[in-house]
Structure 1
Amino acid sequence: MADEGYLRFFPYDAPYDNQREAMDRIYNSLAREQDVLFEGACGTGKTLSALVPALEYARETGKTVVITTNVHQQMRQFIAEARAITRKEPIRTVVFKGKKSMCHIDVGYEECQVLRDTTREYVDTEQDREQLEQREQELLEASQAGEDGAAEARSTVMSELETLGDDLSDLKSNVCEHYYNNLTADTSEFFSWLFADVRTPDDVYEYAEQRHLCGYELLKEGMEGVDLVVCNYHHLLDPMIREQFFRWLDRDPEDIIVAFDEAHNVEDAARKHASKTLTENTVDQSLDELEDTDDPRRQPAKNVIGAFRRALSQVLDDTLSYGEKKRVKENWKDLPIANDDRRDDLTLAFLQTYSGQGINADLEQAQALGAALDQEYEDAYKNGETTTRQECQTLQAARFIALWMAEGGKGGQYPVVSVRRNEQTNEVYARAELYTCIPQQVTRDLFDEVHASILMSATLRPFDVFEDVIGLEDPATMAYGLQFPEENRRTFAVETPALFSSERGNPETQAEIADVLRDAIRMTPGNTLAFFPSYAEAERYFELVSGTVDAKLYRDEPGQSVEDIRQEFSNHDHAALFTSLWGTLTEGVSFDGNDARSVVVVGVPYPHLNDRMEAVQAAYDAAFSDRGRDAGWEYAVEIPTVRKTRQALGRVIRSPEDFGVRALVDKRYTEAARRDMGKYSVRGTFPPEERTEMLDIAPEKLKFAMLNFYGDKDAWGPEGPPAP
């Protein structure tokens, strides 16, 4: 394929050398219907490297490209790139978000579905009435002219008109005016406006709101035959949403090319989409619902749902003492119920408390009753008998219990009960959950059914592990490190004590790390990003360093606006931002030049090693026992941790002219630890070319190394560098 083919979609002067190579390889992989794993260092143009050949191949073969991310900053970047592309080679692009964020009347999904169906029926009935009114007028004229049978036919038509009038009256209370206008107005102007540029969901919402239209439904109508769709992960990872999504595109799955950005996040996102929950409140509402029906299937439903409710209470009582229950807070707290040699405690309690003709038979009856009640609720809302669309709690409960019994004992599923306190009522209530440990149970079907996928990130390696986890077979793999001059960066592994959780409270360790942070901040001619294993550790060192450096200090906290703090931090010329490696600033956020000249990673940010993580490790050990490695620890803990660290390091050096220092503050990053600390050393998990750049250094030497590096770059102004 000649360059001129795909380069028509490249919006800038010329691609980097690695971009051109990646484009060729991706195009050829798509032609072979081969998935692609594409690692490219931050700031090296991954998005265009994937989009450009994908758009070319899709244009040639009549397919649609779907690019997706779960990072808001990346969504904005996609829009910017798509706008740049369409100014050179026009493409039809739709940027799609969920219904909730675009609804003009703020109703839930089920209610919206009924409103939409009712509105469509209302419009169809109006059209029928118009036709009958026209026919009635014709028959009136015929009757006045003396035609035989015209008067009798007119009487029949008038009777039908009266019935239609009653139908319209019944339907009117559940009509969405915005969607009604979609169906009855000329919306061609909207689609001309939509494809004249790349419009954001906010643009669409504002346009539709001004004209009293439903922008969400208009977008769905406009997706047919588009070149590019930008969306969130859940449109592809949720099987039910994915099926609808492809239908809106009017594409079979084999006509879809999927590109996942920040693909290292697919593992956790898929796990969340696969996991199913049922709260104690839903079970209680289901039992109340059953009391209000006289359907003969009520008793079988009460048998299974009531027994499950009693089992939940028993698990709570057996697991939590009175004092422990008093200490439960508003966040969910897991209660371990899994057993190594038998089914979980909740299932055992359920089997003990159940009485009836048989669990499976009663569950079938419960689900059938739930489906019937759900249809009644929909009909009542549709006919104007209720003002909201009631959801059937019995159906939800019965389906979950059936899934729990069928899947809860299988490998890769972790049954768990959690508790939390309701802030309004102060009551403690429980939730049963089937937690999916192995993401490929969700992702494999997606990758099998689409034409091909491109999964890109700055941190995908080791590729074989990623292939195992998400279920890819024989993908093309490519990795490009930083293409910018190596002399523009230094990566130091600082030999401070290993910040194990048992070491974090040690005053001597804290003092040594605080000194390293002070040195890094002082010796940085610009801003410093400091990442920690948790927000609590970020707060600890923020307090230790505050007042001891001549720099403005910021602390990122959960619930704060990331964009607001990033903007304020970037506006300073000498500041430091303290945050968690598990927060939102580690990826998808750009800091250019002095906005973040140095980045410091303190500690190794292992995830919280709770029972869920142990279940994931056990599942990986069982699933990948033939790999000749400690799959549980490596797949579930070590590799995701190093990916998170590498993402943080990528916040600096974003262009060929940029320069900076990356400091890893924990001896587990050093070469000596690789020899002496066994599996707790993480140096060997970094890609080879990144390891070769790491320079081991004593804590007290870091300030001199930074002084020399930034001095060689003439990074300080006329006043010169600070004294080391």
Structure 2
Amino acid sequence: MTWKSVFGHAEPYPEQAEGIETTIETASRGGFTVLEGACGTGKTMLALTAGIDRVRDPDSDYERVVVLTSVKQQLRQFEDDLRTINENLPDDWRPVSGLTLVGKADVCPYSRERVAGVDETNVYDRCEGLRERTRNLVGDGGDTTAASLVSQARQAQTGLADSGAGGPDYLETAGDPTPYLPETPEYGDTEFCPFYAQFLDDLPEDGDPVEAVPFDFADRGLLEPDDLVSLSAGFGTCPHSMMGAVLPHVEVVVGNYYHAFDPTTASTFTGALLDDSTFLVCDEAHMLEPRVRDLVSDAVGDVSLRDAESELTRVIQPLEFDDESATSTADADLVRAELEESDVTLAELKELRQFLDDLREELDRRVKAQLDRVQPDWRADLTRLEDHELPLRDPEEPATDEITEWAQDAGYDGGVWARAEILGSVVARVLNSAEEEDKKRATPGVGRVLGEWYRQDHERYFREIELERTWDETQPPDSWRRAYNARLALHNCVPSDAIGSQLAEFGGGVLMSATLEPLDVFRRVSGLDYLEEEGRPVVERTFGLGFPPENRASFAVDAPKFTYGNRGSPGEENATRQVYADAVCEVARRSGNVLVGMPSYSEAEWIAGVLRDRLDKPVLVDESSDDVVTESLKTEFFGGDDKVLVTSLRGTLTEGVDYRGDRLAAAVVCGVPIINTSSPRTRAVKTAYDREFGSVPASDAGSGSQGGAASRSGFETALTVPAVRKARQAIGRVIRGADEVGVRVFVDARYARDSWNSVREYLPAQEREEFTAVSTDMLSFALDQFWDDR
């Protein structure tokens, strides 16, 4: 076979063909292709074609393609392109099977229909509780079997009809009936899940779970979540369990970064996919480093510490009372048996409980001291309090954190930290057996974080206390706990090893985005150098816009730098703000929809006010909000007359959103959206990157640097390069096809000039050539010249 049999369109772009062949050849050698391709150049089809070619090739070791993306819009694009591939396969080919990974809330029949006390807020706890009780009923060694549980649940429907109460009130979901009532059944006094019982009944002993799947999926092509729910629940079996059973046997799996990089998810649900028979497609790969940094960082909240202390007490008390009364109780026997089996002592449990109590007192002392310093009268009005970070060491000087030092001084050695996770698991098992409440136990999570806190180093990891504004009426009126959720946070500043080691689990693949340059930076922070050290090839390709250049105008406006020192706060009026207001209005007043990207939401509000005062066009403002509100805003922007959409460059409307056709005539970006550099966490990341990468020369060819090789500072690597990628993502929304016409404008001297703080070197060579530097007073003329020629 050749890849052209898989490719879903009549002919590929030249760059697509080169990218497909490069990716196939590199993956055949166990390597990864790093591909930057401009928006609209067909990266999704490229990656799927290369991956499916490897999976369908009988001489290849690849068995599946796993797609990871951080943007829901892109997830939909992979689904659409897989459908296109299946629609255009040769007549004698079977469809390429596919599955999109979703959470329990999306597939659990009870959660979807909000019955049986289950909804999206508690589905995980309720599901685990119901499953455990169902397993316990079947595993008691008595007459109860999974089949008998299912039979009882199904007969409840018949009994309802025979009672004369009308037809059976079947639970319906995904447009089809299930064989069960809307409420969960009980066996004796024990609630169980009939869907999970059916799955257990169908599960063969020592067999592949796929044998429990009651429907054919190999020839269905893409199995969408609603299809999975309808087919599974219609047969009376658990859709989420079916997803797990089908997962290793489909050819294309589409998911999110956390499916591969979240330690818990990767080790449980998707672990079977993380091997050398999997071809990886990592989409929106410019987000890989920050997203994985979040996934491999951890935190534990004050409330969790409190709950864990309570859970430990409930396990300890039966043994204390038993010792005092010399009278055995069922609870005491249960606890004693679990401790003996787990090699855990009562003394250890008591020490951990005391440690958590002392830790909360130390946390309380530090938070009060911080608030007394920054806002001495804070108790008088808790509503005035703002978020805070309390660093536990100097962010720019790696050293042991103050909480670890406090613990040592208080007499807690490494044992209480290191054993906390094991003790937490024991506590959870005891309480899950003794208490029927469906609730996620706090102690295992607390134990995990305490263990990581003790094990991880102090150079790559930064520890702090985070105070996040919330409100809890149950706390005293003068307590900071009424206004804050306090967390002990452990931040992985340099996740490259975590990324590289996980990528090494896959057989090969492609990492791609519209904005990966400078590639030398991407390789370092994404752990790809680790792969090369292991002998795995890493091949780079950069494809610019192959569409007619006469259809676009690209300008870098030589305006004063849009930094806080120049512009001040959004409420100020000064010369710098006037220049930016004029430039944005020049772009926005012309025909067509216009996207305006600002460094923050507060700056977006400011420029929106200016535009409303000066333009006749409607002006829409994006705010930090949920997906439903964002989707509604997009729909409003795309429909009707011309509009201006203003957003933060760190929002969701500048990445992964398809502004195809005439949806967008221009995009203008103001400033370089570098995040707050005063944050202790940001300073710690910058310092860690200085230590990790600062002495490494940047490749002249790979990075687009002008002049000789130069080292990359932590500021560049951790802050400047990601900021420029954000700006480029927004600009890339405009031209996405050969027939599209539009204007792209950067406003800031750092895009226009080659100076000590210029960011032009972080643009690919083609973009440096295309973005013509213009003065502020020539922008109007340049725009008129372009649009008049259209």
Q: 1:179 aligns with which of 196, 201, 206?
A: 196
- Please tell me whether residue 703 in structure 1 is matched to residue 790 in structure 2: no
Q: 1:351 aligns with which of 408, 413, 416?
A: 408
Bigger helix fraction? 1
Distance 2:661 2:147 in 1: 71
State the match for 1:465 in structure 2: 521
**1:220-619 mapped onto 2 (5 Å cutoff):** 220-247=244-271, 249=272, 253-292=275-314, 293=316, 294=320, 295-321=346-372, 322-323=376-377, 332-339=387-394, 340=397, 342-352=399-409, 354-355=410-411, 358-363=412-417, 366-380=420-434, 386-389=436-439, 391=441, 393-407=442-456, 409-425=457-473, 426-473=482-529, 474=532, 475-504=538-567, 505-523=572-590, 525-559=591-625, 561-609=629-677, 610-619=679-688
Distance 2:593 2:186 in 1: 65
Distance 2:134 2:740 in 1: 56
Residue 336 (structure 1) shift: 2.1
- Please tell me whether residue 640 in structure 1 is matched to residue 707 in structure 2: no
- Please tell me whether residue 53 in structure 1 is matched to residue 50 in structure 2: yes
Residue 75 (structure 1) shift: 0.8
State the match for 1:83 in structure 2: 83
Residue 411 (structure 1) shift: 1.5
State the match for 2:766 in structure 1: 689
Residue 204 (structure 1) shift: 2.9
For each residue in 1:413-444, what CA deviation from the matched residue of structure 2 results, as whole angstroms up to 9, or x when unmatched? Answer: 01010113432323434210101111213212
- After superposition, the Cα gap between the structure-2 partners of 1:116 and 1:430, relative to the gap in structure 1 and judged at 3 Å, is same
Q: Which amino acid counterpart does residue 112 of structure 1 have in structure 2? A: C
Residue 80 (structure 1) shift: 0.4
Distance 1:20 1:430 in 2: 52
- After superposition, the Cα gap between the structure-2 partners of 1:207 and 1:514, relative to the gap in structure 1 and judged at 3 Å, is farther
Residue 92 (structure 1) shift: 0.9
State the match for 1:101 in structure 2: 106
Secondary structure of 2:56's match? helix
Distance 1:80 1:238 in 2: 26
Residue 41 (structure 1) shift: 0.3
Distance 1:431 1:48 in 2: 43
Please tell me whether the aligned partners of residues 593 and 642 of structure 2 are also in contact (alpha carbons under 8 angstroms): yes
Secondary structure of 1:652's match? coil
Please tell me whether the aligned partners of residues 303 and 362 of structure 1 are also in contact (alpha carbons under 8 angstroms): no
- After superposition, the Cα gap between the structure-2 partners of 1:206 and 1:569, relative to the gap in structure 1 and judged at 3 Å, is farther
- After superposition, the Cα gap between the structure-2 partners of 1:301 and 1:471, relative to the gap in structure 1 and judged at 3 Å, is same
Residue 222 (structure 1) shift: 1.4
Q: 1:216 aligns with which of 240, 244, 265?
A: 240
- After superposition, the Cα gap between the structure-2 partners of 1:118 and 1:88, relative to the gap in structure 1 and judged at 3 Å, is farther
For each residue in 1:362-398, what CA deviation from the matched residue of structure 2 results, as whole angstroms up to 9, or x when unmatched? Answer: 4456545433221112323xxxx5132451x344333
- The unaligned stretches of length 5 or more in structure 2 are 90-94, 111-117, 149-184, 204-210, 321-345, 474-481, 533-537, 698-710
Residue 693 (structure 1) shift: 0.8
The 10-residue stretch of structure 1 (630-639 or 311-320) with the greater mean CA deviation from structure 2: 311-320
Please tell me whether the aligned partners of residues 573 and 594 of structure 1 are also in contact (alpha carbons under 8 angstroms): no
Distance 2:398 2:770 in 1: 48
Q: Which amino acid counterpart does residue 655 of structure 1 have in structure 2? A: G
Distance 2:87 2:137 in 1: 42
- Please tell me whether residue 65 in structure 1 is matched to residue 74 in structure 2: no
Distance 2:147 2:606 in 1: 76
State the match for 1:139 in structure 2: none
Q: Which amino acid counterpart does residue 391 of structure 2 have in structure 1? A: P
Residue 624 (structure 1) shift: 1.5
> What's the TM-score, normalizing by structure 2?
0.78
Distance 2:484 2:292 in 1: 29
Q: 2:751 aligns with which of 633, 647, 669?
A: 669
- After superposition, the Cα gap between the structure-2 partners of 1:615 and 1:305, relative to the gap in structure 1 and judged at 3 Å, is same
Distance 2:353 2:274 in 1: 42
Q: Which amino acid counterpart does residue 346 of structure 1 have in structure 2? A: I
- After superposition, the Cα gap between the structure-2 partners of 1:446 and 1:702, relative to the gap in structure 1 and judged at 3 Å, is same
Secondary structure of 2:40's match? coil
State the match for 1:150 in structure 2: none
Distance 2:419 2:514 in 1: 51
State the match for 1:626 in structure 2: 695
- After superposition, the Cα gap between the structure-2 partners of 1:649 and 1:368, relative to the gap in structure 1 and judged at 3 Å, is closer
- Number of aligned residues: 659
Residue 510 (structure 1) shift: 2.1
- After superposition, the Cα gap between the structure-2 partners of 1:276 and 1:705, relative to the gap in structure 1 and judged at 3 Å, is same
Residue 47 (structure 1) shift: 0.9
Residue 310 (structure 1) shift: 2.4
State the match for 1:115 in structure 2: 130
For each residue in 1:703-723, what CA deviation from the matched residue of structure 2 results, as whole angstroms up to 9, or x when unmatched? Answer: 22112212212xxxxxxxxxx
Please tell me whether the aligned partners of residues 93 and 195 of structure 1 are also in contact (alpha carbons under 8 angstroms): no
Residue 445 (structure 1) shift: 1.6
Please tell me whether the aligned partners of residues 599 and 649 of structure 1 are also in contact (alpha carbons under 8 angstroms): yes
Secondary structure of 2:566's match? coil
Q: Which amino acid counterpart does residue 178 of structure 1 have in structure 2? A: F
Secondary structure of 1:278's match? strand
Q: Which amino acid counterpart does residue 316 of structure 1 have in structure 2? A: V
Please tell me whether the aligned partners of residues 198 and 237 of structure 2 are also in contact (alpha carbons under 8 angstroms): yes
Q: Which amino acid counterpart does residue 619 of structure 2 have in structure 1? A: L
Residue 281 (structure 1) shift: 1.3
Distance 1:257 1:281 in 2: 42
Secondary structure of 1:601's match? strand
Please tell me whether the aligned partners of residues 428 and 444 of structure 2 are also in contact (alpha carbons under 8 angstroms): yes
> What's the TM-score, normalizing by structure 1?
0.85
Q: Which amino acid counterpart does residue 63 of structure 2 have in structure 1? A: K
Secondary structure of 1:477's match? strand
Residue 279 (structure 1) shift: 0.9
The two structures, once aligned, show a CA RMSD in angstroms of 2.8
Q: Which amino acid counterpart does residue 401 of structure 2 have in structure 1? A: D
State the match for 2:178 in structure 1: none
Secondary structure of 1:584's match? coil
For each residue in 1:73-115, what CA deviation from the matched residue of structure 2 results, as whole angstroms up to 9, or x when unmatched? Answer: 0011111011111223311111111224333334454553453
For each residue in 1:492-549, what CA deviation from the matched residue of structure 2 results, as whole angstroms up to 9, or x when unmatched? Answer: 11122211112223432222222222221223x3111111001111110111121421
- After superposition, the Cα gap between the structure-2 partners of 1:556 and 1:686, relative to the gap in structure 1 and judged at 3 Å, is same
Q: Which amino acid counterpart does residue 96 of structure 2 have in structure 1? A: I
- Please tell me whether residue 651 in structure 1 is matched to residue 727 in structure 2: no
- After superposition, the Cα gap between the structure-2 partners of 1:400 and 1:704, relative to the gap in structure 1 and judged at 3 Å, is same
Distance 1:395 1:189 in 2: 33
- After superposition, the Cα gap between the structure-2 partners of 1:633 and 1:239, relative to the gap in structure 1 and judged at 3 Å, is same
Distance 2:384 2:281 in 1: 40
**1:141-220 mapped onto 2 (5 Å cutoff):** 173-184=190-201, 191-192=215-216, 195-205=219-229, 208=232, 213-220=237-244
Please tell me whether the aligned partners of residues 471 and 484 of structure 2 are also in contact (alpha carbons under 8 angstroms): no
Distance 1:452 1:433 in 2: 34
